[in-house]
Copies of this chain bind each other. A is one copy, B any other.
Amino acid sequence: MIITAAYTDLYQITMAQVYFETKPNGRAVFDYYYRHNPYSSGYSIFAGLEDVLDILENLKFSSTDLDYLEQQGFEKNFINYLKDFRFRGNIRSSNEGDVVFPNRPILQVEANIIEAQIIETLLLNMLNFQTLIATKASRIRHSAKDGVLLDMGLRRAHATGGHYASRAAAIGGFNATSNVKAAEDYNIPSSGTMAHSFIQSYENELQAFRDFAKVRPENCVLLLDTYNTLQSGLPNAITVAKEMERRGEQLLGVRLDSGDLAYLSKKTRAILNDANLGYVKIAASNQLDEFVIKSLKEQGAPIDIFGVGTNLVTGKPDAALGGVYKLVEYNDTPRIKLSEDLIKVSLPYKKQVYRMLDSDGNFYGADAVALFTEDNITQMEHPFDATKILDLSSFKYESLLKMVMENGERAVPPRSVTEIAEYSKSRLEKLPEEYKRFQNPHIYKIGLSSQLKQERDKLVRKHNI
Q: Let me know if A6 and B340 touch, CB within 8 A.
A: no
Q: Among B14, B192, B227, which residue has its beta carbon within 8 angstroms of that of A338?
A: B227
Flag if B310 contacts A314 (CB, 8 Å): no
Cross-chain contact A155 with B191 (CB below 8 angstroms): no
A11-B320 contact given A201-B26, A211-B18, CB 8 Å threshold: no
For the complex, give the distance between the alpha carbons of A197 and B111 in Å.
14
The oligomer's copy count stands at 2
A277 smallest CB distance to B (angstroms): 22
Bound-state Cα–Cα, A65 to B185, Å: 9
- List, in ascending order, chain B residues with CB within 8 A of A18's CB: 198, 211-212, 215-216
Check A335–B9 contact: CB distance below 8 A: no
Residues in chain B near residue A7, CB distance under 8 A? 154, 163, 180-181
Judge whether B180 and A6 touch: CB under 8 Å: yes
Interface-located stretch among A94-102, A124-132, A358-366, A423-431: A124-132
Contact A10 B200 (CB under 8 A): no
Minimum CB–CB distance for A131 against chain B, Å:
11
A336 CB, min distance to chain B CBs, angstroms: 7
Name the contact of A159 in the complex, choosing from B154, B160, B226 (C-beta under 8 A): B160
| A130 lies within 8 A of B159 (CB) | yes
* B contact residues around A9 at 8 Å (CB): 152, 154-155, 178-180, 192
Q: How many angstroms from the CA of A326 to the CA of B156 in the assembled complex?
A: 15
Which B residues touch A320, using CB under 8 A? 156, 310, 314, 316
Which residues of chain B come closer than 8 Å to A193, judged between CB atoms?
11, 14-15
**A191-B10, A315-B319 are known contacts. Are A196 and B157 too (CB-CB below 8 A)?**
no
CB atoms of A200 and B125 under 8 A apart: no
A158: interface (CB < 8 Å): yes
- Give per-residue flags for A134-157: 1 if the beta carbon is below 8 A from chain B beta carbons, else 0: 000000000000000000101111
Contact between chains at A10 and B158 (CB < 8 Å): no
Set of chain B residues within 8 Å of A322, measured between Cβ atoms: 156, 310
Counting CB contacts under 8 A, is A327 at the interface? yes
Q: Is A194 an interface residue (CB 8 A)?
A: yes
A212 to B157, CA, bound (A): 39
- Using CB atoms, name the residue of chain B closest to A152: B9
A165 on the B face (CB < 8 A)? yes
Contacts of A259 on B, CB cut-off 8 Å?
340
Question: Is the C-beta of A4 less than 8 angstroms from some C-beta in chain B?
Answer: yes
Q: State which residues 198-220 of A face B: CB under 8 Å.
A: 198, 200-201, 211-212, 215-216, 218
Q: Is residue A418 contacting chain B, with contact meaning CB distance below 8 A?
A: no
Cβ-defined contact, A160 with B163, below 8 A = yes
| Interface contacts beyond A7-B181, A13-B180, A15-B197: sample of 12 additional A-B pairs, CB < 8 Å, sorted by A | A10-B191, A10-B192, A13-B192, A121-B154, A125-B162, A128-B156, A158-B159, A158-B314, A197-B326, A201-B327, A310-B319, A316-B320
